[in-house]
Amino acid sequence: MLTKMAHESSFLVLVHIFILLWHFGTYKVSSKPKVPCYFIFGDSLVDNGNNNELYSKWKANYRPYGVDFPKGDTGRFCNGRTTADIIGQFLGFNDFIPPYATATDEEISTGVNYASAGCGIREETGSHNGGRFSLDMQLVNHKAVISRLSRLQQNISTLKECMYLVNIGSNDFVNNYFLPDHYNTSRLYSLKKYTEVLMKQYSKQLRTLYKMGARKVALFALTQIGCTPLATSKFGTDGKPCVKEINKAAMLFNHKFKPLVEKLNTDNEDALFTFINITSILYPQGDRAMRTPPCCKLDGEWACKAGSIPCPFRIFHIYYDALHPSEISNIAMATRAYHAIHPADAYPYDIYHLVRVHN
């Protein structure tokens, strides 16, 4: 019965995605960018190669990752584009925003991607698998880029008109709190208290970003991380579609986003923080799971096996590996993040309206 429900739910989600793609199928990307620059912060959901040269297991610079991406296996944890890539195209950028690790002086004027797989809001998150750039380190790197722009005599006042995307927080649960063999956070805090501590730190980091010139900032809330193939296989579901305790963690964290953006916008002059409700977008059936299997053959718990052949019909798979969405899922998330079709998708703005507000 559960298997039948899971398949029905997966089918409904895929139908939802195809309707969404048809709805926006004629959407034309502007030839001129709608913002002067675009900066990306986050984890593996938007990483585009910053970990490639690190001593780390948090890497995806090998096939079958990138099998559908124009530039191949760049370090994206996907068969194709990430949500950040697709949003960049909607914003009118002709080229993908470069990773901080390789961005040249000529490239940084239009933006930089600082995202790093395995990282989190907390410094220690993901450390059991090696190197990664925490959100604090990404902010340090952004400060360095601003200094480079200033030395290049770029007008850094335009930073206020740029677009900022932040997609982070999942690893602070699945690669920290719910890994007691590696981290002590679950012994230090109850789940409720942990989400409060985590959001307090996140708020402080976002205020730092504001002080560096960011005004138009889209914050991606967490998806139902208890429904990933990794979570369901590793933790078990007690006959339910997803891992209840992990989804509860995401829910507790996500419920803090609306008051977070309200306070940030109230306390800071010209601030235009908004949050994107990924659960509303990717899980239209509520708590019912999207139980399509990973598209690629796994090597260990979640990553694609190097050199393996992925599934042939990737548009029918919600997940590419056991943790990360396939490009078809990223298209759905990016499209509704950019142009919401339901009031619950974004608050107080979707990205389309956010970039049109003039400070």
Angle of CA points 65, 66, 69, to nearest 5° = 165
Cα–Cα distance measured from residue 173 to residue 165, given in angstroms and rounded to the nearest whole number: 20
Tell the residue number behind the tokens 């585009």, with chain if given: 48
Q: What separation in angstroms does the CA of 45 have from each of 114, 290, 329?
A: 12, 18, 11
Q: Is-catalytic flag, 324?
A: yes
Element (H, E) at 278: helix 278-282
Q: What is the DSSP letter of 289?
A: -
Q: Out of 47, 73, 172, 321, pick the active-site residue.
A: 321
DSSP-derived 3-state class of residue 177: helix
Name the token pair of 337. 């993040």
Tell the residue number behind the tokens 């052949």, with chain if given: 309
List strand residue ranges (DSSP E) for the chain, in order.
38-42, 163-167, 216-220, 272-276, 346-347
DSSP string, 56-100: BS----STTTTTTSTT--SS-SSSS--HHHHHHHHTT-SSPPPBT
Tell the residue number behind the tokens 């590696």, with chain if given: 182
Q: Out of 10, 44, 116, 127, pick the active-site residue.
A: 44
Cα–Cα distance measured from residue 75 to residue 236, given in angstroms and rounded to the nearest whole number: 30
Q: Out of 324, 329, 345, 350, pick the active-site residue.
A: 324
List strand residue ranges (DSSP E) for 211-262, in order.
216-220
Cα–Cα distance measured from residue 152 to residue 130, given in angstroms and rounded to the nearest whole number: 34
Amino acid found at 165: L
Q: Is-catalytic flag, 95?
A: no
Q: Is-catalytic flag, 44?
A: yes
Which residues are within 8 A (CB) of 204 and not within 5 positions of it... i.e. 6 or more apart? Answer: none
**Which residues are annotated as catalytic?**
44, 321, 324
